[in-house]
Amino acid sequence: MEGNRHIRAHDRHDHGHGDDHGHGQVGAGHRHGGSRPARVRHRFAHLARPHGHEAGDKVDAAMEASREGMRTLWISLAVLGLTTVVQAVIVVLSGSVALLGDTLHNAADALTAVPLGIAFLLGRRAANRRYTYGYGRAEDLAGILIVATIGASAALTAWVAVDRLLAPRDVTHLWAVSAAALTGFAGNEWVARYRIRTGRKIGSAALVADGLHARADGFTSLAVLLGAGGAALGLPTADPVIGLLITAAILLVLKDAAREVCRRLMDSVDPALVEAAERALRGVEGVLDAGQVRMRWIGHTLRAEADIVVDARLTVVRAHELAVAAEHALIHAVPRLTAVTVHTDHAPNGSRDPHAVLTHHADRPRSPSPSP
């Protein structure tokens, strides 16, 4: 059978994929593109790093990422909880209003792990007829809550600083307050590094934003420390002035977190990933050219749609084999890509444009015609 066919490599060909590629037994119809030496190298790569082709393998990889995210949340919540307890004891001894505000702030911000944890749990649920892409977007909703919390942190810090400028207050037990402030900074910075590292590893923008949030909290703890130092030098206005400077620092953190989350909501991906996908498609033996490539994040995994151009004289079976080979190449080329839909177009052969029937649907995106 010849002519243009819309053949798709559906989720039944999904590959479990994380930062490492594993591959198990290659199913029937799986063709690896490239020269014979390239195919030999590919088979050795399969032996060294096996990964399965089954949908269950993909689910297992996503579950493992969610487990790692949950583990990070629990550990960081314990660290922030311990930090809050230490600060609360010092608040009782010193009567420091600034430290009280920082303690309450840290306690409330530790609880931002709750919506993110719920999002990770929701992300484990299987797709259904209503949520056909699954529940991974719950992470983006949690990211919005985290960004809002960072904004509230900046507003609270600014309000306290202005209040201190208008009504300066003495702070007692300055050494204890300083120690509590250092504890707050150390705890928040450790949590920030841990969350950001794990978030980038599993591809969770919300967890990265939560790490940036913890870093902002560390800045507020430093404000307490510097304010206590100013009070020890007889400068009661040092605390509120430094608080305003810390507010500006938190706003910078807010900008980075909001950009990260908003880009994810707008289906933004790194252009380098698209370029890598295009190179991989053109490297498949039998693929004449690559057309449009689209990607989006669903939680902390990627999904893609790609167009390839093949010979117009191919049978449906052979064109489908090329679509599967193209999907396979993309799985290997793009980290955290778990599902690909491949659309085949045939090279021009003098026949009418196969997409002509779609031209009157002006509001619908249409795949570009294959280049000659």
Give me the pLDDT at residue 305, please: 95
CATH 1.20.1510.10 boundaries in the chain: 56-265
Residue pair 205/301 in contact by the 8 Å Cβ criterion:
no
Instruction: Read off the pLDDT of each residue in 263-288 and give the average, rounded to a whole number.
Output: 93
- Residue 285's φ and ψ, nearest 5 degrees, are -65, 125
Collapse the DSSP code of 187 into the 3-class scheme (helix H, G, I; strand E, B; otherwise coil) and give the result. helix
Tokens (6 digits) for 240: 């509120």
Place of tokens 């004449």: 288
Give me the pLDDT at residue 348, please: 76
Give me the pLDDT at residue 160, please: 76
CATH architecture of 11-50+269-358: 2-Layer Sandwich (3.30)
Tokens (6 digits) for 125: 């649920």
Q: Categorize the per-residue pLDDT at 351 as very low, low, confident or very high, splitting at 50, 70 and 90.
A: low
Beta bridge partners of 293: 306
Residue 324: pLDDT over 90 = yes
Tens digits of per-residue pLDDT, 206-231?
788 888 888 887 877 877 777 778 77
CATH 3.30.70.1350 boundaries in the chain: 11-50+269-358
Tens digits of per-residue pLDDT, 47-68?
333 344 443 444 445 556 668 8
Q: How far apart are CA 154 and CA 257, in angstroms?
A: 13
Q: How far apart are CA 30 and CA 13, in angstroms?
A: 10
In the chain, alpha helices (H): 36-48, 55-94, 97-110, 113-123, 138-166, 174-202, 205-232, 238-265, 271-282, 316-333
Residue that wins the pLDDT comparison between 250 and 194:
194
Q: Categorize the per-residue pLDDT at 370 as very low, low, confident or very high, splitting at 50, 70 and 90.
A: very low
Tens digits of per-residue pLDDT, 6-57?
444 444 344 434 333 333 333 333 444 444 554 544 444 443 333 444 434 4
Residue 354: pLDDT over 50 = yes
Q: Which of 215, 173, 199 is nearest to 89 (CA)?
A: 173
Instruction: Write down the mean pLDDT value for the chain.
Output: 75
Residues found in the chain: 372
Residue pair 23/50 in contact by the 8 Å Cβ criterion:
yes
Residue pair 269/302 in contact by the 8 Å Cβ criterion:
yes
Residue 292: pLDDT over 70 = yes
Q: Exposed/middle/buried for 172, CB within 10 Å: 0-12, 13-18, 19+?
A: exposed
Q: How far apart are CA 13 and CA 327, in angstroms?
A: 8
- Let me know if domain 56-265 sits in CATH 1.20.1510.10: yes
